[in-house]
Amino acid sequence: MSAEKVISVSNISKRYRLGVLGGATLSDDLKVWWAKKRGKPNPLVTIGDEVSSTREGDHFWALRDIEFDVHKGEILGVIGKNGAGKSTLLKLLSQITGPTTGSIKARGRIASLLEVGTGFHPELTGRENIYLNGAILGMNKAEIDSRIDAIIAFSGILHHIDTPVKRYSSGMKVRLGFAVAAHLEPEILIIDEVLAVGDAEFQKKCLGKMKDISVSGRTIIFVSHNMASVRSLCTRVIWVENGMVVENGPTEVVVRNYLNNFSGHGDEISWEDGRDAPGNEELRLIHVVLRKEFPDQLLLCSHWFEIEIAFINHGISDGNLRVNIHLINGAEVLVLATALVECLPAENIGVKGEHRFSCEVPGDLLNSDDYRVAVNFVRSGKLFFRCADTIGFQIHNAVSADGFSLGKKLGVIRPKLKWRRV
Amino acid sequence: MATTSEHEWDLVIEPKKSVFRLNVKEIWIYRDLIALFVRRDFVAVYKQTILGPLWHIVQPLLTTITFTVIFGRVAKLAPSDIPNILFYMSGIVTWSYFANTVTKTSKTFIGNASLFGKVYFPRLVMPIAVSISNLIAFSIQIVTFLAFLAWFIIFDDTFQFELRPELLMLPVLVVIMAFLGLGFGIIVSSLTTKYRDLSFLVGFGVQLLMYASPVIFPLNMQQLLDKPIILGFIRLNPMTSIIESVRVAFFGGNLDWHGLIYTVVFTFVTLLFGIVLFNRVEKTFTDTI
């Protein structure tokens, strides 16, 4: 890439000490220090426990040898599970805490947005808080003066701008906070999942603003769980796992790999018809695959999809052999069970040979969640065999026209039901 | 290509920076933030109170009355040639600036942990802003004191007041006091990130320290001159020479230059030590707090 490097992260590691830090009180630490001075053993360590002070196990590496560069104008996404080290990385980049080893070099002013409305004072008015929050985020008074009208207009709370913030609803506080942040105009902007708040209309506004920022040649580092937002915004993605960079590359590739990893086996699994395939001498499952309405896109709540299964019957001739599919969500709740016989009572799988069926799940039925598919075979009313873990996939929240996630609805399922006035 | 962009980084984050580094330039960039914090401290505290900033007067006034009655009238510790009210008020106003600065700046890290955990700005901005906003309260109190002074000049014929050259020392004394309070405060605040015990100690300790200063009695009091060890202890208090000098400026006497030099050196060392400690703590305190 020929663009100018604006951030260079090299060999960054961050170590945290586990458990109680040092002595609990000053006198304890003084005792330890005094004993050390006289070359005596630590008086506070119980016998048999001496080794522990040097043990590596007292420490926890939140990040290890992280290395990447960010170029001008990029929107870099950082993804990973909870506890993967994303937040620590963010804290290091925003200078909230120092690294244990390595260095971060940056060119240009960095502003970080780990929270919306940082430092708002409830007794001050909206206008006063714009100044305070803006200054905390690194603007000077002249810059805020020149942007205050735009900030107020963006927040959409003109009528309440001279009311103390303590009388604001939480939504209004968020809007005001984001409005200030959106007008920061630093060369590098670091954003945590602050977009996960606010109503859909305001989220759209925020997303548009972020796109504007990157178009104007500034750089954004965006940390999120929301794959839909990451995909629609980011030009490149870093996947962090256990404090290390697993993959660093184009958004589509990294997000796909991340999601596949996240769902265990991914959305397709097949076995050669050998002894490895689940089942027994008489019957083996050989293929389970997810087929999506839009194969190249994320599976959204509004999309239909099909689960296709294939199995080989080696020698059962039994009219009472049945197959059914269970869909289990991330909370291990059996969301639905569907049997072939309910739909196609005339189909007989108790016949030698390969059988292949597909089951369509309509859109607007399941809620956004992780899912896995279990396949069961039942013979004469008794479980013949069960493959509890075949494919896994994620269903994502519906997305607005700009590609922004509209949030998870309540309930295990979210079918679109018919309402009428009576 | 790459080599041309290897130099001129604006920001380098590394594990260990020099502890003596005091980035004045960076703090200067954030001067508007200091001003806004000062404004916030001043405005926000008195919203929804009836007396508002008048509370700054009420506190020293009530203390002055109490001290005048107990230590002046009953214990007869105040000098006879200065109106007791003026004697006590000058001491209390001076001392309370120092005391408030120490106790408030000592809460820098603990009190702002959530803010510091979310956004970076030079952490020293916070205690500096506190010292300045205390200065506003101090000026209000000084004006009150001047009003009392004027009253005594006009209505009390026995009170002789003249404009002494020592009055010009007052701004310098205030600056020394601000730095001293700041130095003490940031030392305590740095230590409290690890030892919470100190946060209990500081309010109480500052209060006790007042008794080892000439707030309540003049240094040349006969009972004190008879006990050189106690007097020596009181002279060790760096605030002693400041309070004495303030009184000399208003009521006459001789400046204790040795004491002032001691205080200046003490302030310098305290502030330097405080900055070293503060710099060490500010980079990692979010991990320990």
Instruction: Output the domain CATH number for residue A275.
Output: 2.70.50.60
pLDDT of B128-156, one tens digit each?
Answer: 999 999 999 999 999 999 999 999 999 98
Least confident range from A43-47, A399-403, B119-123, B186-190: namely A43-47
> Is the domain of A79 the same as that of A163?
yes
Say how far apart CA A33 and CA A52 lie, in whole Å: 18
- Whether A81 is in a domain gets the answer yes
What would the two tokens of residue A231 be? Answer: 């995909």
Subunit contact B121:A2, Cβ cutoff 8 A: no
Say how far apart CA A144 and CA B35 lie, in whole Å: 14
What would the two tokens of residue B90 be? Answer: 């000058």
Subunit contact A96:B119, Cβ cutoff 8 A: yes
Residues B245-272 have a mean pLDDT of 93
> Is the domain of A225 the same as that of A168?
yes
- Return the percentage of chain B with pLDDT > 70, whole number: 94
* CB B251, CB B86: distance < 8 Å: yes
pLDDT at A19 over 60: no
* CB A158, CB A130: distance < 8 Å: no
Per the structure, the complete domain to which residue A166 belongs is given by: 5-261
Residue B175: predicted pLDDT: 95
pLDDT at B87 over 50: yes
- Whether A138 is in a domain gets the answer yes
* CB B85, CB B66: distance < 8 Å: no
Subunit contact B197:A102, Cβ cutoff 8 A: no
- Whether A403 is in a domain gets the answer no
Residues A169-195 have a mean pLDDT of 82
Angle CA(A324)–CA(A325)–CA(A326) in degrees, nearest 5?
Answer: 125
- A147 CB neighbours in chain B (<8 A) are none
Q: Quick check: ipTM above 0.90?
A: no
- B117 CB neighbours in chain A (<8 A) are 96
Last residue of a domain, one of A232, A261, A290: A261
Residues of chain B contacting A, Cβ within 8 Å: 1-2, 5, 8-15, 29-33, 35-37, 39-40, 43-44, 47-48, 115-121, 191, 194-195, 197-198, 283-284, 286-288
Subunit contact B120:A96, Cβ cutoff 8 A: yes
Subunit contact A140:B116, Cβ cutoff 8 A: no
Which of B14, B26, B36 to substitute to test the interface with A, most A CBs within 10 Å? B36
Subunit contact B5:A101, Cβ cutoff 8 A: no
> Is the domain of A186 the same as that of A68?
yes
Residue B91: predicted pLDDT: 95
- Whether A221 is in a domain gets the answer yes
Say how far apart CA A412 and CA B201 lie, in whole Å: 54
- Whether A405 is in a domain gets the answer no
pLDDT of A203-236, one tens digit each?
Answer: 777 777 777 877 888 888 988 877 777 888 888 9
Q: According to DSSP H, which parts of chain B are helical?
A: 24-29, 31-45, 55-67, 84-105, 108-111, 113-116, 125-155, 170-192, 197-211, 222-225, 228-236, 238-251, 257-282, 285-288
pLDDT of B203-231, one tens digit each?
Answer: 889 999 999 999 999 988 888 888 889 99
> Is the domain of A227 the same as that of A96?
yes
> Is the domain of A257 the same as that of A273?
no
Subunit contact B10:A109, Cβ cutoff 8 A: yes
> Is the domain of A182 the same as that of A239?
yes
Q: How many domains does chain A divide into?
A: 2
- B192 CB neighbours in chain A (<8 A) are none
Least confident range from A387-401, B105-119, B273-287: namely A387-401
Question: What does chain B come to in residues?
Answer: 289
Cβ neighbours of A112 (radius 10 Å): 26
> Is the domain of A101 the same as that of A135?
yes
Tell me how close the Cα of B235 comes to any Cα of chain A, in angstroms: 28
Answer whether 0.90 is exceeded by the pTM. no
> Is the domain of A294 the same as that of A161?
no
- Whether A419 is in a domain gets the answer no
pLDDT at B2 over 50: no
> Is the domain of A253 the same as that of A279?
no
Which of B195, B286, B288 lies closest to A96 in CB terms?
B286
pLDDT: which is higher, A111 or B171: B171
pLDDT: which is higher, B186 or A27: B186
Q: Quote the mean pLDDT of chain B.
A: 88
Residue A145: predicted pLDDT: 94
What would the two tokens of residue B105 be? Answer: 């700046």
pLDDT band at A404 (very low <50, low <70, confident <90, very high): low
Last residue of a domain, one of A261, A278, A298: A261
Last residue of a domain, one of A228, A261, A294: A261
pLDDT at B182 over 90: yes
- Whether A420 is in a domain gets the answer no
> Is the domain of A137 the same as that of A85?
yes
The DSSP secondary-structure symbol of B118 reads: T
Instruction: Output the domain CATH number for residue A49.
Output: 3.40.50.300
Residues A250-271 have a mean pLDDT of 76
Say how far apart CA A53 and CA A22 lie, in whole Å: 10
> Is the domain of A165 the same as that of A303?
no
Residues A171-196 have a mean pLDDT of 81
Subunit contact B198:A101, Cβ cutoff 8 A: no
* CB A267, CB A308: distance < 8 Å: no
- Whether A115 is in a domain gets the answer yes
Residue B32: predicted pLDDT: 92
> Is the domain of A204 the same as that of A272?
no
